[in-house]
Structure 1
Amino acid sequence: MENTRSILVDVTKCIGCRSWEQACKEVHGFPLNTETKLSPTALTVIEERGDKFVRRMCMHCQEPARASVCLVGALKKTSAGPVTYDASKCIGCRYCLVACPFNVPRYEWSKLVPYVKKCDMCAERKRKAGNLPV
C-alpha cells in the first residue's frame, strides 16, 4: 500500500506521562480518568513493564484478521492505513474480538446497543479536516 500512514512511537523516550492517553480521551469525549487497561473509553494506553513503558492500541495491521472475519464489512483496512469501524453495519457477533491476535478491541458490554471500540487513528477526524484520504 503506497502512501499509508501509521503512528510511530519511540518507546525508548517514553517517560510514562500518559499524555498520549489523555489526548485520545479528550478528542473522543471520554472521561479523563487514569484507566490503565484498554476499554471502550480507553482506546490507547501506556503500560508499565518494569522500568519500560509500552503503548497498547490497535496495530492497524497490513492484513487485519479482524476485518477478514467481519461478516458484514463493518471493519475495513483503508488505503491510507487505518483499520476503520462502521458501527452502522455491525451486527454484534464479536468475531473481530476473537480474531485480533493482539487482544486490542473492546466491546461496550454495558450499553443497550453496544459497539466494538478501537483506535481508528482518528481517520474520520482527519478526513473531515482534509488531512487524510479515507
Structure 2
Amino acid sequence: MMETPTFFNGTYDETMALLIEARNYIAYHDAASHRALPPHVRLQISYESMRVTSRLTQVMAWLLAQKAVHAGEMTREQAASDDFALSGGDICTDPSGPDNEQLPEGLRSLLERSHRLYMRVARLDERARDAVALAS
C-alpha cells in the first residue's frame, strides 16, 4: 500500500467540506430565502446549484478512484481509464455564475470555489492520464 500524498488529502478534505457546505446551502437557504424572487431568478439558482453539485460529485468520484489507487485497490491504469476520468465537460468548466449579481452571495461563492477546485482536479486528471500513457 502506497502512502497518500499530503496534497491529495488536502484536496479530498476541501472537496468534502464544499460538498457539505453545498448540501447545507441547498437544503436550508434555498427554499426559504428564494420564494420572493422572480421565477427566472429561481430557475437560474436551481441551474447553478446543480452545476455546483455536478462539479463536486465529479471531483469526489475522481478522488475516490485515486484514493483506491493509493490503497492498492486499483491500478493507476484502471484509474486512468475513461470509466474513472473526470467528466462534466462544458457544464463543469464554464466559469460563469459568480459574476451574476442576481444570484445569492452564498451560491456565487460556491460557484467560484467549486470551479477552481474542478479545474485544479482536471489538471491533476490530465497529468495522471499522461503519466500512465507515458509508462505504457
**TM (normalized to structure 1)?**
0.30
Decide which structure has the larger Cα Rg and report it. Answer: 2
Higher helix fraction (1 or 2): 2
**TM (normalized to structure 2)?**
0.29
Higher strand fraction (1 or 2): 1
Q: Return the structure number with greater relative CO, CA threshold 8 A, min gap 6.
A: 2
